[in-house]
Structure 1
Amino acid sequence: MKEKSLIIGGLITIILGAFVFFNRSPLKIELPKGRESVLVCFGDSLTAGIGAPRGKSYPDYLKNYLDVKIVNKGVPGETASQGRERFEKDVLSLDPDIVIIEFGANDYFRKTLSQNTRGHMEFMVDRLLDRGTVVFIAKFFPEKSIVSFIKSKDKKEYDKMYKELSSKDNVFLIEDIWGEAWGRPKYMNDTVHPNEYGYKIMADKYFEAVKDLFEYNNLLK
């Protein structure tokens, strides 16, 4: 009976341990204390806010939700390679605690090989991780949209890139930045850029993805 009790006790411990493990929030990461936290939004036109009036980009809307310094470092038309060229100046020099990286759309339209895009993305991600920065990577294409412009073969390559990059510790993938905005004229300025209402929806999707991290650090407004 004693051996049976020990076995049952051991099984309960394993089960409880597994329950705790699988329910542990990956965004319970403590950010540095004693200074204002800095979030850098780094990407192309979808970060810069092309298609909307000044002050209506997704990073601008995020300022309504997060009690941190938010810096918009989006440059229209850029590829991951071009982002890497200004990475030191526009990102690392700001000593950010969190960075949202949004690149890939212009690589796709210019038919850049996905492995080249991945190499530039991985360089930036690894540099940030070396500094203890929390990284979010945003997919540029609407995952479940029936009007998604990205071809199935290319989609598999980009999906693989994003998945592998987000498998690193303290790197998190934002699967959907579009929500209901994609392809709906009232939310779009043109075929690939939201208007101010679309960017508001986009900001809500970003917030949904990062909320747990900021809530854990008491940085919600």
Structure 2
Amino acid sequence: MKAVCIGDSLTHGYGVPASCCWVNLLQENSQLKIVNKGLNGDYTASLLCRSYRDVISLHPNYTVIMAGTNDFLMGSSVYNVFDNLSLLCKDVIENSIVPIIMNPPYIDEDMAKERWADEIDYVEVNRKTELLGQRLKEFSYEKSISFIDLYKIFKNISTEARDYYIDGIHLNKRGHLIIYNELMKQKVFEENKKK
């Protein structure tokens, strides 16, 4: 059994040792062969463009999809991001691959202004990410796809943000552990085994 994880720096594991990235934690603690196709700075349109090379041609059983933060940081609309992600899901389903969708985590606005860039409207980025999560949840329900709303999970721990973030956007070891634990808790790989 194989799973490809496709996304941006939050999938690649920016800022943490490779062994601490949620993708590597899955590899070490499951029977799946895991392939990390996260690229730092990537956008959902790029994921769609590279889906054949980085997902479909590898013939995985599953693909975990998480992206959108960079799109919103650059001002993209919720509609465009959702459209790209839903098209990617349809592509993998048509190729007999089980998609698992994760909405990107909440951004800690104060920490991001201090440690990333102070000119970005992180309130607006978070608003768009929350709306994306609502649309992805509805889409996932309609298509019987597993969905994990990391935005809500990380928003609920935002008072302790410095314990989970490097810079308000990227996650530290503890943040990656939360994603790994959520994937394991929801048993998305066991429940979605291809027939």
* Shorter-chain TM band: 0.7 to 0.9
1:194-205 to structure 2, matched below 5 A, reads 194-205=171-182
1:159 aligns with 2:133: yes
Are the counterparts in 2 of residues 42 and 101 from structure 1 also a CA contact under 8 Å?
yes
- Per the TM alignment, residue 107 of structure 1 is displaced from its structure 2 partner at its CA by 1.1
- Per the TM alignment, residue 65 of structure 1 is displaced from its structure 2 partner at its CA by 2.6
1:1-221 to structure 2, matched below 5 A, reads 37-142=1-106, 149-151=122-124, 154-155=128-129, 157-176=131-150, 179=154, 183-209=160-186, 211=187, 213-214=189-190
Return closer, same or farther for 1:196/1:168 CA change in 2, 3 Å cut-off: same
Q: How many residues align?
A: 179
Task: Name the one with the larger helix percent.
Answer: 2
- Per the TM alignment, residue 49 of structure 1 is displaced from its structure 2 partner at its CA by 0.4
Identical residues among aligned pairs (%): 24
Are the counterparts in 1 of residues 77 and 128 from structure 2 also a CA contact under 8 Å?
no
Are the counterparts in 1 of residues 4 and 36 from structure 2 also a CA contact under 8 Å?
yes
Return closer, same or farther for 1:40/1:212 CA change in 2, 3 Å cut-off: closer
Q: Deviations over 1:65-89 (max 9, x none)?
A: 3101111110011110111121111
Distance (Å, rounded) in 2 between the aligned partners of 1:89 and 1:45: 19
Structure 1 segments unaligned to the other structure (5+ residues): 1-36
Partner amino acid, structure 2, of 1:175: D
Are the counterparts in 2 of residues 98 and 133 from structure 1 also a CA contact under 8 Å?
yes
- Per the TM alignment, residue 216 of structure 1 is displaced from its structure 2 partner at its CA by 8.0
- Per the TM alignment, residue 105 of structure 1 is displaced from its structure 2 partner at its CA by 0.7
Distance (Å, rounded) in 1 between the aligned partners of 2:188 and 2:78: 31
Structure 2 segments unaligned to the other structure (5+ residues): 113-121
The normalised TM-score by structure 2 is 0.79
Which has the larger displacement, 81-90 or 188-197? 188-197
RMSD: 2.8
Are the counterparts in 1 of residues 67 and 104 from structure 2 also a CA contact under 8 Å?
yes
Distance (Å, rounded) in 2 between the aligned partners of 1:206 and 1:142: 17
Distance (Å, rounded) in 1 between the aligned partners of 2:9 and 2:105: 13
